[in-house]
Amino acid sequence: MESIESMTIEQLKERAALLASEMDANDEENRAYQSEIDKIYARIDAQKS
């Protein structure tokens, strides 16, 4: 990847949009992981009772 210093304004905007979409996707993935973790601990707690 070229450095941001050598990118045009259009390339910079595209790169920023790509990074923002990757962050959004990671947020969704993290919520899914957290949901599964919560279910795992709920199952562990239920089995301890």
At residue 15, the pLDDT reads 95
Is 1 a residue whose pLDDT tops 90?
A: no
- CB-count exposure of residue 41 (10 Å: 0-12, 13-18, 19+): exposed
Is 49 a residue whose pLDDT tops 80?
A: no
At residue 25, the pLDDT reads 93
Q: What is the DSSP letter of 1?
A: -
The CA distance from 49 to 33, in Å, is: 25
At residue 2, the pLDDT reads 80
2-41 per-position pLDDT tens digit: 899 999 999 999 999 999 999 999 999 999 999 999 999 9
Tell me the pTM: 0.64
- Find the helix or strand (DSSP H, E) in which 15 lies: helix 9-48
